[in-house]
Amino acid sequence: MQRHWCLAVVSTLALAGCADGAVEEDPDLPGAGGKADDGAAIACGDSVIEPSFAPLDGGALAGLTPSNGVPFPKYGPGDDGSFHPMWGYAEGGTYAQGTDDPEHRPRANRTLPRRDGFLRVAVWNVSRGEKLDTLIRRMKEIDADVWLLNEADLYGQLTGNTVAAREMARALGYTYYASTEFYELREDRLGMSGNAIASRYPLFDAQRIDLPILADQGGYDWTDSTSEPRCGGRSAIAARALVPNALGGTTSVRFVTPHLENKTNRDVRWAQYQAARDALTTPGEAAILGGDFNTWHFFEGSEFRGNLRDELDAAGGDADRGSPNAFMDCSLGDDATTHIAGRIDWMLLQLGQNDRIACLPGAYSVQIGDGSDHDMVVTDVFVRR
């Protein structure tokens, strides 16, 4: 599939020369089926722009150590203060110990009690990470073991040129993996935005994919936007972790977070979900897939759940119990809203062989998401074996 990326001079608000079909498939161009060398220019239509980034100052990585299969940070903002690296940039690592900054300390009346023996997983769109201290405090109050995060900026102007997921991991003492989704070009947003995973248990086997735009089916190409000028497109990331199980051992669980397109129709979003699922998970493995699915159209949530039920039926499972080979909705029918647009954030689970993990009744909840325009979806997942 051919993808069409657009970059413009970072001070420019209008995007020009990025019509569909303007870029020919070229294995040397990032985002077009190949990998660019460090510093390679990025093409958009008839225009070419040099990425803006610089080698990272080692002082910015104090306390961070590499994680197996997670790319260690390499770059930071360029001389002009913006961060537009080669397409598909990703980074991560592990902080052995969290911080105890006063502004991040949990409020006793806002903490969420834990269920012994369960793995707590949270899905949260963090609104670029603009209110970073508030977000981190709320994360400490929820005390999730794994966070699936959308709209996490990488050196965005809104976050004061920080990597939101890295700062969250630093505060929590977690492993993180973050990757790019858009080159943000608006003056107050210059930098990158993307998705991230943060985990109490070390992450490994990290992957990233671009999601299809599907313009011919009503998909939205962000190179057409003038109010939010940006280049790139929706993406999904994944990683594994070995988590404690009920038998005293560990279980390998695959964690996936896609960010589905808001400016399109329900059929395109379902296709994007399928693309993320098919590329980043395998039937028979224990997997948790969650994120901002943007299911805001009338009855779209019900239709999405119906599609999941159809796949569960085909796999020999059911909507309440799940299947080793297909995904279930962990809400078990709970339609509590997660955003002003409705219930648009989801957490899905695939049991894996021998029913390794499970969403049990009463384990799913929607929690207030201070610092973001999204509330968070939280599930205590039972890890059987």
Domain containing residue 210: CATH number: 3.60.10.10
Cβ distance 321 to 260 under 8 Å? no
**Rounded to an integer, what distance in angstroms lies between the CA atom of residue 42 and that of residue 245?**
45
Q: Are 364 and 334 in contact (CB under 8 A)?
A: yes
Q: Does residue 247 lie in a domain region?
A: yes
Torsion of CA 158, 159, 161, 162, to 10 degrees: -160
- HSE at residue 66, side-chain half, CA atoms within 13 A, is 7
Q: Which residue has the tokens 């313009």?
A: 215
**Residue 38 confidence (pLDDT):** 57
What would the pLDDT profile of 117-130 be if each residue is shown by its tens digit? 899 999 999 999 99
57, part of any domain: no
Structure confidence at residue 42 (pLDDT): 67
User: Does some domain include residue 199?
Assistant: yes
117 domain residue, yes or no: yes
Please spell the DSSP secondary structure of 128-167, one letter per residue.
Answer: ETTTHHHHHHHHHHHT-SEEEEEEEEES-GGGTS-BHHHH
Amino acid at 227: S
Report residue 150 as tokens: 């959308």
Rounded CA separation 374/215 (Å): 27
The pLDDT tens digits of the residues spanning 62-115 come to 999 999 999 999 999 998 888 999 889 999 999 999 999 999 999 999 999 998
- pLDDT tens for 168-193 read 999 999 999 999 999 998 888 999 99
Determine, yes or no, domain membership for 340. Answer: yes
Backbone conformation region of residue 28, classed left if phi is above 0, alpha if psi is from -120 to 50, else beta: alpha
Tens digits of residue pLDDT in 333-384: 999 999 999 999 999 999 999 999 999 999 999 999 999 999 999 999 999 9
Could you list the residue range(s) of the whole structural domain that residue 371 is in?
92-383
How many structural domains compose the chain?
A: 1
The length of the chain is 385
Partnered with residue 251 across adjacent β-strands are 243
pLDDT exceeds 70 at position 7: no
Place of tokens 């399928």: 274
**Can you read off the two tokens belonging to residue 25?**
């498939």
Would the pTM count as exceeding 0.85?
yes
Task: Answer whether residue 286 shows pLDDT above 60.
Answer: yes
In a domain, 80, yes or no: no
The answer to the question of residue 81 being in a domain is no
Report DSSP letters for 58-110, one per residue.
GGGGTTEE-BTTBPPP-EE--TTS--B-STT-EEEEEESS----GGGPPPGGG
Quickly tell me which residue has 């011919």 as its tokens: 216
| Residue 56, in any domain of the structure | no
**Tens of pLDDT, residues 140-170:** 999 999 999 999 999 999 999 999 999 999 9
